[in-house]
Amino acid sequence: MNKSICRVILAFLITATLVACSAGGGEQTFEPLRPDENADTVNSSDGKGSSDSAAPESSSGAVEDSTWAPLMEWAVIPATSIIRGTATYSISGFEITTTEVTRDVYSKVMGDIPQQVNDGADFPVENVNWYQAVLFCNAYSKLLGRDTAYVYTSVGDEFYLNDLSIDYAAKGAIRLPTENEWEVAARGGTTSTYYWGTEEAKNYAYYAQSKGPVAVGQYLPNEYGLYDMGGNVAEWVNDWYGTYENKDMEDPTGAEKGTNRVVRGGGWSDKVSALASSERAKKAPLYKGHSLGFRIARSAM
């Protein structure tokens, strides 16, 4: 074919293509790229997806943030019961931390910490009122990507929580243990006055001291692997202080209202009698002291 004819045909084809593209350009739409909604999505600290960095999912459906989960060690407490007089209190299985909340953990979760009686990152946090312990529980739940157990409308002076209610049905939500959960955990399956039975108390508990608390986990644990359930610092629990009801109950949560919250376990300045598994004390929820801290619990997931 003649070269000049070929050039004419090629020019015609190019012109026709440009005109077609120009005519259709106003009708074209472009959808942004979206991840497959059915595909697994993973977040990692460096922004890169990796199956190795996926956070574990609890049976409640919440994805637990693997960054914060290792802050505390947990023990699984089996379902059991407590006999009070002629009444049986049935307690469902739950989880509780093996130690009291430490100063290091408290400051990481809350970003700040009240004045402490002495130094030590692994010492139990103290000088916190009941509401501060509750706010810690909610903050930790949020860091783990879970629902919160405590609901309130506003925070007042000294961290007082207005219109407060507790959602015990929030699976896996961090909260303070109920009084009866605490006692079940402290006993470790025993029925003796002290969870160490007739052994020497000084091997299991730090008490009758004058210089403040010590690092958690320094003494022998009970049969559930829980440390310092007696001594070191006494511990806030959820319940209002009131008279035990003399009737069979399932997962009792204490009095409906009151002026004091229950304190359990005895502290570093107490006599050994305060460390008995059934011994209870009471403090106004706004009270703060250097021999009073807390540990946390959650319903079984």
Q: What radius of gyration do the chain's Cα atoms show?
A: 29
**Average per-residue pLDDT in the chain?**
84
d(CA 282, CA 295): 16
The CATH number of the domain holding residue 138 is 3.90.1580.10
Is 82 part of a structural domain of the chain?
yes
pTM, two decimals, is 0.79
pLDDT tens by residue, 169-197: 998 999 999 999 999 999 999 999 999 99
What is the reported pLDDT for 11?
45
- Residue 79 pLDDT greater than 60, yes or no: yes
Residue 84: how many other CB atoms lie within 10 Å:
18
Domain interval for residue 148? 57-299
Region 10-33: mean pLDDT is: 37
Region 241-249: mean pLDDT is: 97
Residue 299: how many other CB atoms lie within 10 Å:
19
Is 218 part of a structural domain of the chain?
yes
pLDDT band for 47, please (50, 70, 90 cuts).
very low
pLDDT band for 23, please (50, 70, 90 cuts).
very low
- Residue 14 pLDDT greater than 60, yes or no: no
Residue 4: how many other CB atoms lie within 10 Å:
7
Region 44-63: mean pLDDT is: 36
Is 128 part of a structural domain of the chain?
yes
- Residue 7 pLDDT greater than 80, yes or no: no
pLDDT band for 84, please (50, 70, 90 cuts).
very high
Tokens of 292: 């009073």
Is 5 part of a structural domain of the chain?
no
Number of domains in the chain: 1
Is 181 part of a structural domain of the chain?
yes
Q: Is the dihedral of CA 92, 95, 101, 105 positive or negative?
A: negative
pLDDT tens by residue, 263-281: 999 999 999 999 999 999 9
Closest CA to 181 of 55, 86, 56, 265: 265
What is the reported pLDDT for 69?
83
Is 14 part of a structural domain of the chain?
no
pLDDT band for 62, please (50, 70, 90 cuts).
very low
Is 231 part of a structural domain of the chain?
yes
pLDDT band for 223, please (50, 70, 90 cuts).
very high
d(CA 116, CA 266): 18
d(CA 284, CA 185): 24
Residue 57: how many other CB atoms lie within 10 Å:
11
What is the reported pLDDT for 64?
55
pLDDT tens by residue, 86-121: 999 999 999 999 999 999 999 999 999 999 999 999
Is 79 part of a structural domain of the chain?
yes
Q: At what angle do helices 103-110 and 130-143 cross, to 10 degrees?
A: 70
pLDDT band for 67, please (50, 70, 90 cuts).
confident
